[in-house]
Amino acid sequence: MTTKTPFSVYLDPELMQSLAAYADRRGKSRSLVAEAAIASFLSPDADEQREAAIAKRLDRIDRRLTRLERDVGIDVEMIALFVRFWLSNTPPPPEAERDAMRRLGNDRYDAFMTALGHRLAKGPKVRQEIGEDFPSQDG
């Protein structure tokens, strides 16, 4: 049997309570749990596990950024197509009607912004209607 070297540490009360609760749940001594935790922290496997966890998180962030980039691309294309269609299919109004049309346009814009606010607050988003599996132009 090997002898163990005594070692004293100071722990925050919350950490000590967590250690005690974990040891009690497992039916192990606090010393054994602390020794296993220190060994795990110092082992090369711990570094590999941390690196794997970080890589997994980075992959998740990369996927989210890729979806975000795709969604923004869809938004830009949608707005550009709408503007192009509107500009090419809407004749300019006669001079005498422009003031009335400007007022009507302002009223319609206000109604559009209100509807957009409601849709963003609780309605389905365009990206949800298109779906996540929509193929990208790049790949």
Q: Is the pLDDT of residue 136 over 60?
A: no
Q: Is the pLDDT of residue 139 over 50?
A: no
- Mean pLDDT (the chain) is 87
Q: Is the pLDDT of residue 40 over 90?
A: no
Residue 27: its pLDDT value, please?
95
Distance from C-alpha of 112 to C-alpha of 115, rounded to nearest angstrom: 5
Q: Are 136 and 70 in contact (CB under 8 A)?
A: yes
3-state secondary structure of 99: helix
Q: Are 78 and 126 in contact (CB under 8 A)?
A: yes
